[in-house]
Amino acid sequence: MGLPPDPIRDLSKPIERLVYRVGPADSGRRLDQFLAARISWRSRTGIQRLIEEGRLFVVSNEGGAEQPAKRASQRLQQGNVVVVVTQHPRVPLPNLDAKAADIEVLYEDSWLIAVNKPPGMTAHPAGRHLYDTLISILHRRYRSADPTRDVVPRLCHRLDRETSGIVLVSKDEDVRHLLGRQFEDRVVEKEYLAIVEGEMEQVEGSIDMALDRDHTAKVKVKMRTVSRGGQHALTHYSVLERSGGFTLVHCRPRTGRQHQIRVHLAAVGHPIVGDKIYGPDEQLFIDSLDGKLSEAARQMLRIDRHALHAFRLTFEHPKNTERLTVEAPLPQDMRSFLDAVRRDAAWHDEDRERP
């Protein structure tokens, strides 16, 4: 997975403009189709509304002036720049101060930070989440108007929004580049804890299945295992605990494919508890985005997010070359779920033992 874009501005401040350059693949494409692929939270009707409100502009050539878009069917050409003027953030920025104080720092020195990302927090601005993101909150915490104290946090990798755990953040571009190379070269040891449906029979094993985009799925980001083609993906796992029809699993991915652990565990018949894409029905993911999850659906999922946690990361410090290991404790929601499962299993065991 590539590195997220390098933030060159203070992300703790409101995003005033979204800027998209038209490349060769989009030359001749309609304006509404071009934007629908980039701001997927807006419908074509919503894009037409941007035009009517005077918040959508097209720059025809390098150094040219911004011209108001006139119609959604306008054809774009390579080299054009499309500019969307944003509205005020949905999340009041003052609230980010409290969020910044709540982010747990697991390790910090002059070059890098390791933080414990809470579940449900997007790593980088995207879609509906432009302000209440991990990088925006870190900018709120570390940026300063005083140049001698100003630190620009840069994400070195990402976790899915619902996945909790360790995220490495650099304090300068050189460190970010060096850590990024370690991720790309697969020398960073990533370890996860997952709670899965069913009690896994094997104590340990490996899942070696190639992954590819699932073009038949309703969810665009969904992946699948394939027998031919695709990208090589390998996950080692070991069982830590079985109880009440669930298993706590220690996972060590040896490749870094999108949704790798989630797809692999589902493929062997043990989807992660709470997984809205690879669990009971991918429609649950679509419903959750629209805020339409029913109480029955929540009970089916058992937990509000997929129970996956990045709990340990081992890498070479980019400056002193020492091997460094960072750990993040299991979050409260996963601990509470396991405690409830253990209590329920113990109750059933006692009930069976009664004469």
Kindly list the catalytic residues.
Answer: 160
The set of residues, in sequence order, having a beta carbon less than 8 Å from that of 237 and lying 6+ positions away, is: 204, 205, 206, 207, 249, 250, 251, 252, 265
- Picking from 281, 326, 275, 264, the residue whose alpha carbon sits closest to that of residue 302 is 275
- Picking from 220, 109, 123, 226, the residue whose alpha carbon sits closest to that of residue 171 is 109
- Picking from 309, 337, 316, 333, the residue whose alpha carbon sits closest to that of residue 191 is 309
Helices assigned H by DSSP within the chain: 31-36, 44-52, 95-102, 134-142, 173-184, 260-267, 283-289, 295-301, 332-353
Cα 41 from chain centroid (whole Å): 16
The answer to whether residues 311 and 240 touch, using CB atoms and an 8 Å cutoff, is no
Determine the residue type at 288: S
Q: Is 234 exposed, middle or buried (0-12, 13-18, 19+ CB in 10 A)?
A: middle
Residues in the chain: 355
267-272 LR contacts (CB < 8 Å, sep 24+): 267/207, 267/209, 267/225, 268/207, 269/198, 270/196, 270/197, 270/198, 270/200, 271/196, 271/197, 272/194, 272/195, 272/196, 272/197, 272/306, 272/307, 272/308
> In the structure encoding, which two tokens stand for residue 87, read together?
């509205």
> In the structure encoding, which two tokens stand for residue 106, read together?
């697991």
Helices assigned H by DSSP within 7-74: 31-36, 44-52
> In the structure encoding, which two tokens stand for residue 43, read together?
């419908």
Rounded-to-integer distance, Cα 288 and Cα 294, Å = 9
